[in-house]
Amino acid sequence: MNEKLRKAGIKDILELALFTPASYHDYRIKDFIDFEEQLFEAQILKKQKLQKLQKYQAYAKNIQKEIALIFFRTSSYHDYTFIEGATLYIGGKIKKSFGELQLIQPQKVANYKVGKIFPSYKIKIRGDIFEELKSHYLTKENLQNTGLPEDICERLLKIHYPDEEFYRGFKRHGGFYGKYLEALKFTEAFRYMKGLKTKRIYYPSLCKVEAILDPFYEQLPFTPTSDQRKALEDAKSDLAKSIAARRVIVGDVGSGKSLVMFGIAHMVGKKRAILMAPTTILATQLFEEAKRLLPSSLRIALVTSQSKEQDLEDFDFIIGTHALLYRKLPKACVVMVDEQHRFGTEQRSKLKKLVESQEGSPHFFQFSATPIPRTKAMMESSLVDFSFIKELPFKKDITTEVISKEDFKRLLIHIKNEIEQDHQVLIVYPIVEESEHYNYKSLEEASSFWMRYFDGVYYTHGKDKEKEDILQEFRDKGKILLATTVIEVGISLPRLTTIVIVGAENMGLATLHQLRGRVSRTGLKGYCFLYTHDKNNKRLQEFSKITNGFAIAELDLKYRKSGDILSGKEQSGKMFQYLNMAEDKAIVERAKALLDQ
């Protein structure tokens, strides 16, 4: 691609095709006045300097009439451009005023634009140079060489080299429309997935495992769900390949992703698996659960920042926090990352590299508790493989209600009733300290109220160095926990039945769903109260009626654009200018099918 285009941010043919005109101008010469923007071939007759404006009398050859060119702001440019006797092409909308035909602030039109419907681009390249580059690179042959279908290529070319039919439609619809808009959407999806495909690197795997799952299932004290079995079958198929797997296993809150982790560790056996979790509490819980569900012949280690140095070569399944990144790790067949969005891309790749060798790479499995929309998953599957765990081991009974200030007394009565039944309550605040920019009480401001009226109140937040000890103590002794969204991922609280989320309208739906997933983990009746100053908030009202995380992911997509699944970052800005992932599933399917051929 030309250097000038690269500097303007256009790196390839598809990006050039998607760099669409901001507007179109009809610079064809007509021999009549249509009182719309049109082009005149005008000879300057004389110049008049008036009090607040400059006026040029001119003869428009194409309509054979005299016209007045009116400028309210002039510079030396006008003096050396609009010279008496000069013939110029002038663009503008004509009107009748004071008995004469006038053009107000008309534009001089360059010769290369004359005689056609001309697309106008917002680009820092001189117009004639950009047109030359465009005509050189943006051809049907070049577009087809990218892999785009012929019909899409033809529509894209119409956008950049418009004809009368397209131009009239663009004006009528006030923008790109119909099959042309569809072509832009298709091209965005196609380019994005094609880019991901080129990023996918296939490494030889450090080990191949021909596993049988039945021995694992037979020693479990319960029956796995069909989705858990399907995810384990996917992993079994991956482990049997000589190419290192890269799979994201996405499961709703409470869907039993940990069972899949243990199933993978069981299949790998003595060839070793490593699992990294985001907190000491979570790593410890996984360690305890693994010891309960895996055979004693598998030696399991727990590595945290408090752990003593030990020779990890002696263990088959190593579970730890980010402390793993600072230990000498033995070669492992499998690396797993739980709650993968809690770790940066660098941390995840560092863990994988710690066990890589010249022989190859470990099979890499990432687990996410943030369900994602089908369309988004379909697009990202060009880079990684996906498994979905949608089925829950038991149906949760959680009532979600949007409440505000007038409901507070009723909320207090509910909290007292739950505590009397030896249940626990979690209240999530959006900020730790008082802020003049926030119209909700902070965690610190609210703590005095709850401590005054209730016993067994604990509070913690993200920067609290003792938060894991506090959560552990609350689990055993506490009644009410005041926290920030740090609680979104962490300790299992079997007695937790009620969560109150303050300032809920300021949180993403995925975060709200994660928080709601903290309650009713053992089958108890659960309650989620969304406390807001905007009780009629449509987004919260819709959320309160949906419990399925994957349906919420679709709803979240409707209200805000999703981001990078692999990094876990959400973005409120637009990833695509034209493609709407909430509505354009069929277009994405067609683009993916073409790329997969």
Residue 589 lies in a domain: no
pLDDT at site 571: 41
513 and 372 within one domain: no
Average pLDDT of the chain to the nearest whole number: 88
Nearest Cα residue to 499 out of 372, 590, 399: 399
Confidence of residue 342 (pLDDT cuts 50, 70, 90): low
Task: Output 202 or 214, whichever has higher pLDDT.
Answer: 214
Domain end marker among 389, 414, 437: 389
- Which CATH number does the domain housing residue 535 bear? 3.40.50.300
232 and 162 within one domain: no
169 and 21 within one domain: yes
Maximum alpha-carbon separation in the chain: 101
Residue 490 lies in a domain: yes
Can you read off the two tokens belonging to residue 346? 């660098």
Range name among 101-110, 195-204, 372-381, 519-528 with the lowest pLDDT average? 372-381
The full DSSP string for 19-83 is: S--SEEEE--B-SS--SSEEEEEEEEEEEEE-SS-EEEEEEETTTTEEEEEEESS--HHHHHHS-
541 and 457 within one domain: yes
124 and 98 within one domain: no
Question: Looking at the predicted structure, is the pLDDT value of residue 207 above 80?
Answer: yes
Query: What beta strand segments (E) does 343-397 contain?
Result: 363-368, 385-389
Domain containing 422: what range? 398-546
Share of the chain above pLDDT 70, in %: 93
Residue 562 lies in a domain: no
404 and 368 within one domain: no
DSSP 588: H
Residue position matching structure tokens 């923007």: 37
Residue 236 lies in a domain: yes
Can you read off the two tokens belonging to residue 182? 């569809």
418 and 496 within one domain: yes
- Which CATH number does the domain housing residue 92 bear? 2.40.50.140
pLDDT at site 378: 78
Amino acid at 403: I
Question: Looking at the predicted structure, is the pLDDT value of residue 573 above 60?
Answer: no
pLDDT at site 562: 44
Domain end marker among 176, 192, 213: 176
pLDDT (average), residues 388-394: 86
Range name among 469-473, 492-496, 544-548, 565-569 with the lowest pLDDT average? 565-569
Q: Which residues, listed in sequence order, are joined to residue 57 by a DSSP beta bridge?
A: 46, 68
292 and 360 within one domain: yes
Domain end marker among 389, 423, 450: 389
pLDDT at site 484: 84
The full DSSP string for 137-190 is: H--HHHHHHTT--HHHHHHHHHHHS--HHHHHHHHHHTS--HHHHHHHHHHHHH
418 and 331 within one domain: no
338 and 260 within one domain: yes
Confidence of residue 522 (pLDDT cuts 50, 70, 90): confident
Q: Are the C-beta atoms of residues 462 and 390 closer than 8 Å to each other?
A: no
Assign 3-class secondary structure to 484-531. Answer: CHHHHCCCCCCCEEEEEEECHHHCCHHHHHHHHCCCCCCCCCEEEEEE
295 and 336 within one domain: yes
Task: Output 255 or 415, whichever has higher pLDDT.
Answer: 415
Residue 214 lies in a domain: no
Residue 377 lies in a domain: yes
pLDDT at site 418: 96
pLDDT at site 437: 66
Residue 526 lies in a domain: yes
What's the domain count of the chain?
Answer: 4
pLDDT at site 511: 85
pLDDT (average), residues 381-396: 85
CA-based radius of gyration for the chain: 32
pLDDT digits (tens, 9 = 90+) for 324-341: 988 888 999 999 998 765
Residue 184 lies in a domain: no
273 and 317 within one domain: yes
Distances (CA, A) of 542 to 147, 396, 491: 41, 18, 28
Confidence of residue 137 (pLDDT cuts 50, 70, 90): very high
